[in-house]
Chains A and B, each alone.
Chain A
Amino acid sequence: MLTYILRRTLMMIPVVLVISVIVFWIIQLPPGDYVSSHVMELQKEGEQLSAAEQDALRERYGLDQPWYAQYLAWIWGILTRGDLGYSFAYSQPVLAVVERYMATTLIVAVASMVFTYVVAIPIGVYSAVKQYSVGDYVFTTVGFLGMATPNFLLAIILMYLSYIWFGNPMLGLQSPEYAAQGWSPARVLDMLRHLVIPVVVIGTASTCELIRVMRGQMLDEMTKQHVLTARAKGVKESTNLRKYSLRAALNPIVSTIGWSLTAIFTGSTITAIVLNLPTQGPVMLDALMAQDMYLAGAWLGFMAILTVIGTLISDILLAWLDPRIRDERRARA
């Protein structure tokens, strides 16, 4: 098992390198660069930047080099100094910007994920056990609707309802009056209240999908021969359901936890923009628009690498949960 993990980890390295190249290539695609978009911004405010000043800026940021040279400098900085580059817009190292938004991003992602699993698994099991019941039809219909509604549009609807019912669209992660204060129980409560809409919005699509997967898995497992064998032994239905069907149905779901966390993490991007959450979504959008390339690249690369790591975690979990795969891996390692 250990050799397997080690081997898989080593195999990740070339993948991550290729990802970083693609990321860099994409973020330098837009015509112009940060200096030109900065000049445009300045022009709107009536200021001018001479060509010489622009060139000086370009030279300072290394923007006069061809993109592969810029890439090599960037990747060298990351590998040697852990330096992700410099954010022009924030006038700070990218790392500092990422750090600032990482905590809230993770809070929202993890909360959404917990919501997803806590809601979806019981409903999925219920729908399977009571197949074709009224409840099953209701959940299936709601599930379909949830999957068909784009996250950010659901966000608008919920904000609209919240605005109508509570007179507050619950934007952001906390009310403005708490922003400057220290942490207090009231502030935590306020934050939890603000978390409801984002968590529901971000979690809904994955919840609906998970309900469908869980229902299908359960139906599949419940008709397996070994469940019948257990029944023929005199095992109680509830025990049978828990010990055999549920355990087996959960396997693929638990094993994709690593992957779903990253999916939720990245899926929240647009929702965060609409809800104006202080997470990576709006930061990335702004960075993309302003051609703040290192910041945008850092987020994009970060998400891609997170997906790769998530897949690795999933594979490891799968091997840990299923004795058959465990042995197969052991044999190959």
Chain B
Amino acid sequence: MTDATAATQAISGPPAIEAVGLGKRYRGDRWALRDCEFTVPAGRICGVVGANGAGKSTLLTLAARLIEPTEGELRVFGEASSTPETRARVACVTQEKPLYPSFTVAGTLRMGRELNPGWDEEAAQRVVDMGELRLDARVGSLSGGQRTRVALALALGKRADLLLLDEPMSDLDPLARHELMGVLMAEAAERGTTILVSSHILPELDGVMDHLLLVQAGRIRLSGDPEEILDSHQLLTGIAEGAELPAGTAVERRVRGRQVTALLRTGEPVDGPWESVRPSLEELLLAYLRTPLPPSATATAPDREAAA
């Protein structure tokens, strides 16, 4: 299959993920996620970004059907609940990377082969080989990064249409990160696989994601194409004294001595004694992350605005 057909194939059919009024409450009345509304079209590489404890893992675990929502729905390829068909189409690598420690690497791959009808031995084997893992090594004796590699090999061997990866690169060295991200992108290029990947390392997802979900305190703060989101923001730098920012558009405003820096939600450069530029992805995300949501704010309004 050529690149072009994989890309167009992904466009038809239901979105990979669609959240409607989604909420999850754990024991003790703590809402890990609340009022989440967003869509991730099929074929996207979606970065799930947020601070520790923001709800990223809860979101991915809900999508993997490992837990049930408390309210609302999370549709995966149009299905509101788990079916054998969707289970076969989804692969998940959680932070815990649950593998059998007494299995060897070869045994783990054999398990993948026997449990998954569409198993791709070559894809799984390649990921293992790239890490120069010994096939007869027990999983329990491997380092964290090596176990990550085995877990990713299992997920890729499954030939899923949706890959859910929770902080997959956190315990890998820079070379392994680059290699495995390359393997994931190649998979997406060839098969139009949708990938949801969470990370709190922002540069890791720059250039990789073409869809952004910014999760903040259990809400979806931003959702959409990162380029479009960046186009609809301006980063202003100017002299603080007498500075009047356009009303109602400031995401963040910081004063250092005489200088003021502000991130505004507007696509047009702002007139005035400013330098007004399009922010970088990191500047934009950091500004949002530094600014907590007001308690009354609903997460859905900026979401729609950004996604439009």
Do A and B actually bind? no
Instruction: Tell me the A residues contacting B by CB distance below 8 Å.
Output: none
